[in-house]
Amino acid sequence: MKLAIWTYEGPPHVGAMRVATAMQGLHYVLHAPQGDTYADLLFTMIERLPHRPPVTYTTFQARDLGTDTGELFKRTMRDAYERYRPEAIMVGASCTAELIQDDPGGLGRTLGLPIPVVPLELPSYQRKENWGASETFYRLVRAFAGPNAPAPGTSRPAREPGRRPSCNILGPTALGFRHRDDVIEIERLLDRLGVEVRVVAPRGATPTQLTLLGEADFNVVLYPETAEVTARWLEKTFGQPSTRTVPIGVGATRAFIREVAELAGIDPAGALADAESRLPWYSRSVDSTYLTGKRVFVFGDGTHAVAAARVAAREFGFEVVGVGTYDRTFARDVRAVAEEFGAEALISDDYLEVEARIAELRPELVLGTQMERHIAKRLGIGCAVISAPVHVQDFPARYSPQMGYEGANVLWDAWVHPLMMGLEEHLLGMFRGDFEFHDGAGASHHGAPATAAPTEPEPVAAANDADGPSWTTDADKELRKVPFFVRGKARRNTESYAREHGVATITIETLYDAKAHFAR
Amino acid sequence: MSTAIRTAQNPLDATGCGDAPVLRERGQREVFCGLTGIIWLHRKIQDAFFLIVGSRTCAHLMQSAAGVMIFAEPRFATAIIDDRDLAGLADANDELDAVVDKLLDRRPDIKLLFLVGSCPSEVIKLDLSRAASRLSRRFAPRVRILNYSGSGIETTFTQGEDNCLASMVPEMPASPAGAPASLLVVGTLADVVEDQLRRRFDELGIGPVGFLPPRRAGELPAVGPATRMLLAQPYLAETARLLEERGAQRLEAPFPLGVEGTTLWLKAAADAFGVPAERFERVTERPRQRAEAAVARYRDTMAGLSVFFFPDSQLEIPLARFLARELGMRPIEVGTPYLHRSHMAADLALLPSGTTLSEGQDVDRQLDRCHAAAPDLVVCGLGLANPLEAAGLATKWSIELVFTPIQGYEQAADLAELFARPLARRRRLEV
What integer best gives the mean pLDDT of chain B?
Answer: 93
pLDDT for residue A425 is more than 60: no
Confidence at B249, pLDDT banded by 50, 70, 90: very high
Same domain, B7 and B86: no
What number is the average pLDDT over the span A393-412?
96
Q: What's the pLDDT at A368? A: 97
Is A34 close to B286, i.e. CB distance below 8 A? no
CB proximity A57 to B under 8 Å: yes
For residues A29-38, give the mean pLDDT: 97
Number of domains in chain B: 3
Same domain? B306 vs B426? yes
Instruction: Supply the pLDDT for residue A436.
Output: 54
Q: What is the pLDDT of residue A485?
A: 53
Q: Would residue B166 count as lying in a domain? A: no
Mutation site for B-interface testing, chosen from A13, A17, A71, A95 by largest number of B Cβ within 10 Å:
A95
Contact A176, A389 (CB under 8 A): no
Contact B61 A38 (CB under 8 A): yes
In a domain, B172, yes or no: no
Query: Based on the domain organization, do B130 and B55 belong to the same domain?
Result: yes
Mean pLDDT of the region A84-92 = 98
| Mean pLDDT, residues A506-511 | 93
How far is B382 from chain A, CA to nearest CA, in Å?
Answer: 6
Residue B415 Cα, gap to closest chain A Cα (Å): 10
Q: Which residues of A touch B124 (CB under 8 A)?
A: 99
Range A420-424 average pLDDT: 51
Per-residue pLDDT at A449 exceeds 90: no
Chain A nearest-CA residue for B104: A3
Residue B366 has pLDDT above 80, yes or no: yes
| Closest residue to A1, CB basis, from B81, B152, B191 | B81
Predicted confidence at residue B304, as pLDDT, reads 97
Residue A159 confidence (pLDDT) above 90: no
Cα-trace Rg, chain B: 22
Indicate if B201 and B330 belong to the same structural domain. Answer: no
| Residues B314 and B264 grouped into a single domain | no
| B107 lies in the same domain as B25 | no
Same domain? For B131 and B195 the reply is no
Question: Torsions phi, psi of B109, nearest 5?
Answer: -80, -10
ipTM, 2 decimals?
0.93
CATH code at position B254:
3.40.50.1980
- Residue B167: inside a domain: no
Cβ separation A52–B387 shorter than 8 A: yes
Say yes or no for a CB contact (<8 Å) between A3 and B199: no
User: Nearest to residue A6, comparing CAs of A348, A321, A240?
Assistant: A348
pLDDT at A158: 83
- Domain span at B216: 182-277
Facing residue for A35 by CB, picked from B32, B77, B287: B32
Q: Are residues B11 and B63 in the same domain?
A: no
* Inter-chain residue contact A34 with B152, CB threshold 8 Å: yes
What CA–CA distance (Å, rounded) separates A243 from B6? 75
User: In this predicted structure, what is the pLDDT of residue B68?
Assistant: 52
Identify which of A377, A365, A344 has the alpha carbon closest to the alpha carbon of residue A447.
A377
In a mutagenesis test of the A interface, which of B56, B289, B313 is the best target, namely the one with the most A β-carbons within 10 Å?
A: B56
pLDDT digits (tens, 9 = 90+) for B380-397: 999 999 999 999 999 999
Percent of chain B's residues with pLDDT above 90: 87
CA distance B85 to chain A (A): 7
For residue A65, which residues of chain B lie inside 8 Å, CB to CB? 123, 153
Give me the pLDDT at residue B71, please.
54
Catalytic residue annotation of A: 287
pLDDT of residue B88: 80
Give the per-residue pLDDT at B7.
41
State residue A66's pLDDT score. Answer: 83
- The answer to whether the Cβ–Cβ distance between A374 and B77 falls below 8 Å is no
Q: How far is B290 from chain A (nearest CA, A)?
A: 6
**Model confidence band, residue A288 (pLDDT cutoffs 50, 70, 90):** confident
pLDDT tens digits, A213-249: 999 999 999 999 999 999 999 999 999 999 999 999 9
Tens of pLDDT, residue by residue over B278-329, are: 999 999 999 999 999 999 999 999 999 999 999 999 999 999 999 999 999 9
Using DSSP, state whether A262 is helix, strand or coil: helix
Of B31, B265, B277, B6, nearest to B158 by C-alpha is: B31
A72/B contact by beta carbon, under 8 A:
no
In chain A, residues with a C-beta closer than 8 Å to the C-beta of B82 are 1-2, 125-126
**What is residue A274's predicted lDDT score, i.e. its pLDDT?**
61
- pLDDT value, residue A423: 53
pLDDT (average), residues B410-426: 97
- B44 domain residue, yes or no: yes
Domain-located, residue B161: no
What is the tens place of the pLDDT at every residue in A166-205? Answer: 999 999 999 999 999 999 999 999 999 999 999 999 999 9
- The number of C-beta contacts closer than 8 angstroms across A and B is 219
Mean pLDDT over A475-498 rounds to 81
B24 with B45, same domain: the answer is no
Mean pLDDT (whole number) for A95-100: 95
| Residue B127 within any structural domain of the chain | yes
Q: Are residues B425 and B304 in the same domain?
A: yes
State the pLDDT confidence band at B238, using cuts at 50, 70 and 90.
very high
Q: Is A493 in the B-facing interface, judged by CB distances under 8 Å?
A: no
Cβ neighbors of B315 (< 8 A, separation 6 or more) are: B158, B233, B234, B235, B255, B257, B398, B401, B402
- Which of B81, B192, B291 lies closest to A516 in CB terms? B291
DSSP A458: P
Q: Which residue of A has its CA nearest to B50?
A: A5
Let me know whether B301 and B265 are in one domain: no
pLDDT, greater one: B357 or B9: B357
- Closest partner residue to B294 (CB to CB) among A34, A48, A516 is A516
Q: Do B152 and A44 touch (CB under 8 A)?
A: no
Average confidence (pLDDT) over A22-51? 96
Interface touch A516/B410, C-beta < 8 Å: yes
Whether A118 has a pLDDT exceeding 60, the answer reads yes
Instruction: Please determine, for residue B70, whether its predicted confidence score (pLDDT) is greater than 80.
Output: no
Looking at residue A137, its pLDDT comes to 98
Residue B359 lies in a domain: yes
Average pLDDT over residues B33-54: 95
Burial class (CB in 10 A: 0-12, 13-18, 19+), A336: exposed
Residue A365 amino acid letter? L
**Contact state of A6 with B63 under an 8 Å Cβ cutoff:** yes
The packing angle between helices A484-500 and A508-517, to 10°, is 90
pLDDT per residue over A451-484, tens digit each? 444 444 444 444 445 568 999 999 998 888 776 5
Per-residue pLDDT band at B180 (split at 50, 70, 90): very high
Q: Say what the pLDDT of residue A424 is.
A: 53
CA A396, distance to chain mean position in Å, is 12
Whether B143 and B104 have beta carbons less than 8 Å apart is answered as yes
Residues of chain A with Cβ-Cβ distance to B63 below 8 Å are 6-7
Whether residue A6 and residue B59 make contact (CB cut-off 8 A), yes or no, is: yes
Judgement on whether residues B328 and B255 belong to the same structural domain of the protein:
no
Rounded Cα distance, B125 and B122, in Å: 5
Query: Within a domain: residue B85?
Result: yes
Contact A391 B68 (CB under 8 A): yes
Task: Report which listed range, A148-157, A495-504, B274-283, is most confident.
Answer: B274-283
Three-state helix/strand/coil letters over chain B: CCCCEECCCCCCCCCCCCCCCEEEEECCCCCCEHHHHHHHHHHHCCCEEEEEEECHHHHHHHHHHCCCCCCCCCCEEEEECCHHHHHCCCCHHHHHHHHHHHHHHHCCCCCEEEEEECHHHHHCCCCHHHHHHHHHHHHCCCCEEEEEECCCCCCECCHHHHHHHHHHHHHCCECCCCCCCEEEEECCCCHHHHHHHHHHHHHHCCCCEEEECCCCHHHCCCECCCEEEEECCCCCHHHHHHHHHCCCEEEECCCCEHHHHHHHHHHHHHHHCCCCHHHHHHHHHHHHHHHHHHHHHHHHHHCCCEEEECCCCCCHHHHHHHHHHHHCCEEEEEEECCCCCCCCHHHHHHCCCCCEEEEEECHHHHHHHHHHHCCCEEEECHHHHHHHHHCCCCEEEHHHHCCCCCECHHHHHHHHHHHHHHHHHHHHCCC
For A:268-287, CB contacts with B below 8 A are: none
Decide if A520 contacts B420 (C-beta within 8 A). Answer: yes
Q: What is the mean pLDDT of residues B163-173?
A: 98
What mean pLDDT do residues A394-406 have?
A: 96
The answer to whether residue B234 scores a pLDDT higher than 60 is yes
- Quote the pLDDT of residue B63: 86
Say whether residue A42 is in contact with chain B using an 8 A CB cutoff.
Answer: yes
Interchain CB distance below 8 Å, B417 and A519: yes
